Structure 1
Amino acid sequence: MADQFAMSFGVLNYSGMLFNKGNTRTPLSSIIGGRAKTTNHVEFVTGQEFTSGGGAQPAISESASLTAPDATVVTRAQKTNVTQIFQESVGISYGKMSNMGTLSGINVAGQQANPMNELDFQVAAKMMKVNADIEYTFINGVYSKATDDTKVNKTRGMIPAITTNTTAMAKKPLGLWDIADMVKKIYGANAPTDGLCLWCDAVTLFQINADAVQNGLTVVPAARNINGISLSSVVTPIGVVYLYLGEYLPAGTALLLNLSVLAPVYQPVPGKGNFFLEPLAKTGAGEKYQLFGQIGLDHGPEWFHGKFTGISTEFTAPTYSRSVFIANDANNPVNTKAVAGA
């Protein structure tokens, strides 16, 4: 694809406030950003897995105990993920740089172009795009490990990563007992159940609130704050589950995440850092820059998390709310006979 430079007639100058219609929300990247790791290798370890065995009652006689049992070993398996490249370029012509005073559209005397610097605007917009691409990848990324320099490394996101604790909802709404059952699955997989957070879309969040009201429960807003992200919460029989409105989830999908084991993994370039902007070689009357960085997701043990698929994408409004009975009310059918006989 040929370079597309910002030029005077291609990118017009306007006055007025700037408003971005695109999605710039990156809650998962924000909430796990404080635990960022670095690596100098494209492949990094997400952990080792082993099974120590379940509990059972031994049956060893005194005479048998005089001979030691045959030796056995517990084997381990290493789990890994990879970083991947995120790269964008911007180009500005000299003509555009020197033409910022020419305004298009409706203008009032004394107004100036907004933005005043085209390069700053283009770079900021590209950074927003990269942040959104990272957020999407951390949720949906399909794993691929390059075998030569022409192949692509792709980091594994949460949806492909979770394989043990899964529930297919068959187009049914997601309710509180479904969440509680997933917590039970995670518990049954011998994983911790403290601090689990349901990452869901707006329809599912509405449905959970409606289900809570119908069952006389309360969704507690802003029950916890992590890296500036406020999480609501509900109580299940096994423990508290936090709720948050996630981004880039496929329709009908929700994730129950153990946020404490998630972390971004950066692979910085020596002497440059990670996600840096640098000028590229000039080929004419303009300037071209590239934004470059490498990052992957450490998703931890996949059985620490849960995944719902096939959730109904239509909100089912509650058919009733809480009933209030007033003592000795003549209009209350329960009290009709008592009132009549009074």
Structure 2
Amino acid sequence: MAGITGQGTTFNLPNFVGELFAVTPTDTPFLSMIGGLSGGERANSTLFQWQGYDLRDADENRQRVEGANAPTAESRVRFNQTNVVEIHQEAVEVSYTKQAATGQYNSTGSNHPGSVGISGANPVLDELDWQVQRHLEQIARDVERSFIVGQFQNPSDNNTPRKTRGIMQATATNVSALGTLKGTATIAASNETFTLSAHGMANGTAVTVTNLTGGAVGVLKENELYYVTNTATNTFTLAPKAGGSTIAFSVDGGADVYTATQLTEAILLDLLQDIWTSGGIQVSETATLMCGATAKRRLTKVFITDKGFQEQSRTVGGVRCMTIETDFGTLNLVLNRYMPTAAIQVVSAEECAPTFLDIPGKGFLFQEPLAKVGAADRQQIYGEVGLKYGNEKKHGKLLRVSA
């Protein structure tokens, strides 16, 4: 069932009996891992920063002669990197009657005229606390997604929210953008058809899209895999999974279309080499690959199944991770449902930490009652958090890859 907005009452928040199951996954592996490793850090401003420095290249010809004067003075210049904390704020309101009527159950759903009720108990005896818990879980999921794909936003006024820079946007140096550009397609909302002259793609071809325009914005996402269906010489449609339903558009649009590149051992090792050369993945225990389910299956096949290795795992920051053996050490392999399906993110996790803005007398994530306006209890949950990602050269990402 969908959620509701406004006050929760006996009419829109019905009680049932029996065991209560959570339908939606609540795992947040990236947030949990870096929080477990660092314990989190504090900020005292909405914009927080850290700094770094580099060294000149090693030189085998830098020797000096005997009795020489001191060389020209040299110094290394430090640099800074910044991010912002973003606000997460939710509210819950439950009527007095709803809180009291814990023994009022909804219909059994039976059409039998003699049906009266089902024996059992309502496991939710405090509706307000139960709803607060669900909000906390939802905030954690929101933060996890922001920390991965968040797009930096530090507005000049209060008309626009601050947005923290996610690890994918932060990774700028070690980037391997693969795939083959097929061209710019136009999208007709009337029949969901992409038009691209002589595209040469067969049904089931994995593609990604960029430079979205018109009706494609908000329907398609960059770095996500889509699959060609209903292909003809100059047209095709897309589905979110192989053999799936055609994606619909309400307004005409356009997009650049790339065929995705099948992930291979060599492709990943080339990226790992670039990251290692830049000083990343030096701490084997925290060197981590994050990916979605499609890429995870491919990585398991390439690095474990095809090599005849036995699957191994270890715990990092409280998160249980599968490991794979590479030329650059043993790396953690983390399955993350919020990673774009056509991307793999390499993270030197020891560089990362959630950073919180403490509210005086309240903490960094808290609930508090709101002013009463009637026969109900109202509370809000509030917190400000951002991602510190350290030296971005220690991370890397693969884009436009498929299984």
What TM-score results when the alignment is normalised by the length of structure 1? 0.83
Q: Can you list the C-alpha shifts for 1:141-176, whole angstroms capped at 9, x where unaligned?
A: 111113233342211111100010111231122233
- 1:233 corresponds to 2:323: yes
Residue 326 of structure 1 is matched in structure 2 by none
Residue 141 of structure 1 is matched in structure 2 by 150
Unaligned runs of 5+ in 2: 109-115, 180-259
* Residues 291 and 120 of structure 1: CA distance in aligned 2, closer, same or farther (over 3 Å): same
Query: Distance between the aligned counterparts of 1:96 and 1:147, measured in 2?
Result: 43
- 1:53 corresponds to 2:144: no
2:47 to 28, 43, 50: 43
1:71 counterpart SS class: coil
Instruction: Give the number of aligned pairs.
Output: 309
Residue 390 of structure 2 is matched in structure 1 by 300
Give the C-alpha shift of residue 219 in structure 1.
5.4
1:204 to 295, 302, 314: 295
Residue 74 of structure 1 is matched in structure 2 by 76
* Residues 246 and 189 of structure 1: CA distance in aligned 2, closer, same or farther (over 3 Å): same
CA contact (8 A) 1:186 1:193 kept: no
Query: Distance between the aligned counterparts of 2:64 and 2:124, measured in 1?
Result: 84
Give the C-alpha shift of residue 66 in structure 1.
4.2
Query: Distance between the aligned counterparts of 1:20 and 1:253, measured in 2?
Result: 28
* Residues 100 and 216 of structure 1: CA distance in aligned 2, closer, same or farther (over 3 Å): closer
Query: Distance between the aligned counterparts of 1:61 and 1:245, measured in 2?
Result: 53
2:164 to 148, 155, 158: 155
Q: Can you list the C-alpha shifts for 1:253-299, whole angstroms capped at 9, x where unaligned?
A: 11111111111111111111121111000111111100011111111
1:284 counterpart SS class: coil
Pair member with larger Rg: 1
State the Cα RMSD in Å: 2.3
* Residues 190 and 104 of structure 1: CA distance in aligned 2, closer, same or farther (over 3 Å): closer
* Residues 245 and 3 of structure 1: CA distance in aligned 2, closer, same or farther (over 3 Å): closer
Query: Distance between the aligned counterparts of 1:58 and 1:288, measured in 2?
Result: 71
Q: Percent identity?
A: 28
- Matched to 1:52, the amino acid is L
Which has the higher mean CA deviation after the structures are superposed, 96-105 or 255-264?
A: 96-105
Query: Distance between the aligned counterparts of 2:101 and 2:305, measured in 1?
Result: 62
CA contact (8 A) 1:275 1:293 kept: yes
1:33 counterpart SS class: helix
1:277 to 367, 371, 374: 367
- Matched to 2:291, the amino acid is C
Residue 188 of structure 1 is matched in structure 2 by 277
- Matched to 2:45, the amino acid is H
Query: Distance between the aligned counterparts of 2:329 and 2:123, measured in 1?
Result: 51
Residue 114 of structure 1 is matched in structure 2 by 123
2:104 to 102, 105, 108: 102
Mapping of residues 249-260 of structure 1, within 5 Å: 249-260=339-350
Q: Can you list the C-alpha shifts for 1:223-259, whole angstroms capped at 9, x where unaligned?
A: x212332222222223222211113111201111111
Residue 127 of structure 1 is matched in structure 2 by 136
- Matched to 2:54, the amino acid is T
Give the C-alpha shift of residue 73 in structure 1.
3.0
* Residues 109 and 212 of structure 1: CA distance in aligned 2, closer, same or farther (over 3 Å): closer
CA contact (8 A) 1:16 1:114 kept: yes
Query: Distance between the aligned counterparts of 2:124 and 2:304, measured in 1?
Result: 47
- Matched to 1:131, the amino acid is A
- Matched to 1:25, the amino acid is D
Query: Distance between the aligned counterparts of 1:58 and 1:103, measured in 2?
Result: 83
- Matched to 1:94, the amino acid is Y
Q: Can you list the C-alpha shifts for 1:65-100, whole angstroms capped at 9, x where unaligned?
A: 745443333212111111111110000112222333
Residue 221 of structure 1 is matched in structure 2 by 312
2:30 to 23, 28, 32: 28
- 1:175 corresponds to 2:177: no
Query: Distance between the aligned counterparts of 1:13 and 1:130, measured in 2?
Result: 24
2:381 to 291, 304, 308: 291
CA contact (8 A) 1:219 1:234 kept: no
1:102 counterpart SS class: coil
- Normalized per residue, the structure richer in helix is 1
Query: Distance between the aligned counterparts of 1:292 and 1:59, measured in 2?
Result: 57
- Matched to 1:180, the amino acid is L
Query: Distance between the aligned counterparts of 2:289 and 2:63, measured in 1?
Result: 46
Which has the higher mean CA deviation after the structures are superposed, 201-210 or 100-109?
A: 100-109
- Matched to 2:151, the amino acid is V
What TM-score results when the alignment is normalised by the length of structure 2? 0.71
CA contact (8 A) 1:173 1:204 kept: no
- Matched to 2:41, the amino acid is K
* Residues 41 and 110 of structure 1: CA distance in aligned 2, closer, same or farther (over 3 Å): same
Give the C-alpha shift of residue 3 in structure 1.
6.3
